[in-house]
Amino acid sequence: MDFFLSGWSVLLLAFALDLILGDPLWLPHPVRLMGRMIEMAEPRFRLLPFNPTLSGGLLAAVLISGTWSVAWLVLSLAHAVHPLLSFLLEAVLVYYCLSARSLAAAAREVGQALESRDLNTARQKVGLVVGRDVDGLSRTGVAQGAVETVAENFVDGVLAPLFFAALGGAPLALAYKMVNTLDSMIGYKNEAYIEFGRVAARLDDGANYLPARFSVVIIGLGSWLLFGRFRSSLRTALQEGRNHSSPNAGLPEAAFAGALQARLGGPNLYQGTLVDKPFIGLSFASPGPEKIRPACNLMFVSSTIWVCTVSAVLICWEIFL
């Protein structure tokens, strides 16, 4: 019985829950709670008598360690009641860390609006999931934003949470999501956060280092199954994955670019300022709405490959070690 209530089955059940349920707004969500905790704690830590970098680092340390500790304590109490309760609770907590279905749903809503030739609605929809200014985006620019969102968020929304759940269960997966949430809220390179959010940004870079590199092979395998383009995906990732300001985000984006044969990246406006980012997949054409659904399919297939891979590793670990 213990064999079936172990790490590999937690991952499979969590992934199945994400595919079935997605992210219903009526469900309480730990990641939304994390956001509120950061909002409440930030002003207090800014008042500490330290330099901004140290104060922001303490904020990150307290919230990340606190997240891990609370999750570990809750699961320990649940296990004391019954191992089955602990197993089910852990699966639910890992499920909360995943966002494959909600990510695809957001991208497909953009695609549906574009197919209906409702550019204003498409801009509004893509504006919910990208950081760039959307008011002046063309039909192609909106489609590109949707594809890039799927590509970039595959790692922190699916692959990395499963990676950390495999290493340390739900507590480590939730700690990773706190790292990720901190980076998304205070890890900016602007005047307000360049120092205060420096530690959060570096922690996110470090946490995603291995998952981003694993993603190149996983996306390549998904590309091979769907489109027969393993070489194109892998070659683009290796040659152009570093054409990005992030040490990690460019790799899955380039792998998607090669798989979909679509040009991603390039200059965009952010809060009225033009940011001249390099293109990724330079030899391809810019994606139209027809690339959104294949991008979602690639994300789902790659996610399935990954969850099966890490589950198989955990099974072998249990059997042979």
Contact 148, 34 (CB under 8 A): no
Distance CA 298, CA 253 (A): 12
**Average pLDDT, consecutive stretches of 10 residues, N- to C-terminus, the chain (321 residues):** 76 96 84 94 96 96 98 97 95 96 95 93 91 87 94 95 97 97 91 94 96 97 97 96 86 96 87 81 92 97 98 91 69
Map 194-244 to HEC letters.
Answer: CCCCHHHHHHHHHHHHHHHHHHHHHHHHHHHHHHCCHHHHHHHHHHHCCCC
Contact 253, 298 (CB under 8 A): no
Give the per-residue pLDDT at 2: 64
Q: Structural domain of residue 269, as residue ranges? A: 2-320
Number of domains observed in the structure of the chain:
1
Distance CA 264, CA 272 (A): 20
Distance CA 257, CA 208 (A): 20
